[in-house]
Amino acid sequence: MGLEEKILHKEGFFTSKLTTLIEWSRKNSLWPMPMGISCCAIEMMHTAGPRFDIARFGSEVFRFSPRQSDVMIVAGTVTYKMAKVVRKIYDQMPEPKWVIAMGACTSSGGMYRTYSVVQGIDLFLPVDVYVSGCPPRPENLLNALLKIQEKILPEKKK
Amino acid sequence: MKENRYNIIKNSLENFDIEYADANGTPQLIIKKEDLIGVATKLKKELEFDMLVDILGVDRFQKENRFEIIANLYSNKNKDRLFLKVKLDSKKPECPSLTKVWKSANWYEREAFDMFGIIFTDHPDLRRIYMPDEFEYNPLRKDFPLMGIPGSLELPKK
């Protein structure tokens, strides 16, 4: 970020506090890109609903434009044909960006051990958190989001 | 199917060389490739089979007559069903297209072409429907490995 660099290089002693501030704000407003490809997407929508309420963690703004989002939730079976599209959308997201592989199919191909399904999206995307389940419970997805928040600003640093 | 309707169908198709069979209670007509369009037109125009529900491809994996196509016909007026079966050559599976008789045959035939490599002559738009255009194999053939041929489908670079 421009602001970060400007103050960081002029006055050294602000550095740690400012990055902490930026990371703190970044961590608490992770906007997801809902890459809902199959049934996991229903559970992802459920997470956004009032019962599980992803807004409690600052991620209620599901952005359908990759240019406005920070974390891509890949929810569903990724076929070889779809892989190109997923990668294209990932490439359009601005840095810094994270990826959640939600569910068995996305993480490993799941029950689709076939010629047409990519056996894990880590074959073409850098994945930060894998979520188990078929489909995962909404709590599980929230946990993945907390894991990414932890990754951005670890608790110990505070 | 009612007895007398079955007899009407048999009588009106007298001129064709047809083998009558039974598929779990549904009558099945095994016909010659050359007769396909003639029989189909007659079934639609005179015997009220107005709907083509599906076209299936079959790979028997034997030396002669390896491939088959099965057309699933339904009559909305008489509420009964009929299967049309055509046995095809093993080396060069070619078959006349049913698109002239029923328009819905278009995509079904594209599917059979994609999965089995059955060539429907005089089909208006014979392209792959599921697999990418540059794919070279026919996935539902018995000699195609379940996990596909490595390197045949491209993934985006990491």
> What digits encode the pLDDT tens for the residues A1-10?
566 666 666 6
Q: Which helix (H) or strand (E) holds A73?
A: strand A71-75
Position B103 scores a pLDDT of 92
Q: pTM of the prediction?
A: 0.81
Q: How far is CA B115 from its chain centroid?
A: 12
- B106 found inside a domain: no
3-class SS of residue B51: strand
Is the CB of B124 inside 8 Å of chain A's CB atoms?
no
- B158 found inside a domain: no
Region B113-129 average pLDDT: 92
Position A139 scores a pLDDT of 93
Q: What is the CATH number of the domain that holds B45?
A: 3.30.460.80
Contacts (Cβ under 8 Å, ≥6 apart) of A150: none
Least confident of A13-27, A77-91, B69-83, B119-133: A13-27
Chain A positions in Cβ-Cβ contact with residue B148 (cut-off 8 Å): 114-116
Chain A positions in Cβ-Cβ contact with residue B146 (cut-off 8 Å): 113-115
- B119 found inside a domain: no
The residue of B130, B157, B158 whose CB has the most chain A CBs within 10 angstroms, and thus the best one to mutate to test that interface, is B158
| ipTM for the whole predicted complex goes beyond 0.95 | no
Region B90-116 average pLDDT: 92
- B70 found inside a domain: yes
Which of A88, A115, A118 lies at the smallest CB-CB distance from B155? Answer: A118
Which of B145, B155, B158 lies at the smallest CB-CB distance from A80? Answer: B155
Q: What is the rounded average pLDDT for all residues in chain A? A: 87
d(CA B14, CA A48) in angstroms, rounded, equals 64
Chain B positions in Cβ-Cβ contact with residue A81 (cut-off 8 Å): 131-132
d(CA B81, CA B43) in angstroms, rounded, equals 12
d(CA A39, CA A100) in angstroms, rounded, equals 16
Q: How far apart are the first and last CA of chain A?
A: 22
A109-118: b (≥16 Cβ within 10 Å) or e: bbebeebbbb
Contacts (Cβ under 8 Å, ≥6 apart) of A87: A124, A125, B156
Q: Which domains does chain A have, with CATH numbers?
A: 30-152 (3.40.50.12280)
- B134 found inside a domain: no
Residues facing residue B19 across a β-bridge:
B30
Q: Which backbone phi and psi does A100 adopt, to 5 degrees?
A: -110, 125
d(CA A102, CA A145) in angstroms, rounded, equals 11
Q: Are the C-beta atoms of A77 and A38 separated by less than 8 Å?
A: yes
Chain B positions in Cβ-Cβ contact with residue A114 (cut-off 8 Å): 146-148
Name the residue range of residue B76's domain: 3-91
- B110 found inside a domain: no
Domain count, chain B: 1
The DSSP bridge pattern shows strands B119-121 and B94-96 to be parallel
- B30 found inside a domain: yes
Distance from CA of B118 to the nearest CA of A (A): 20
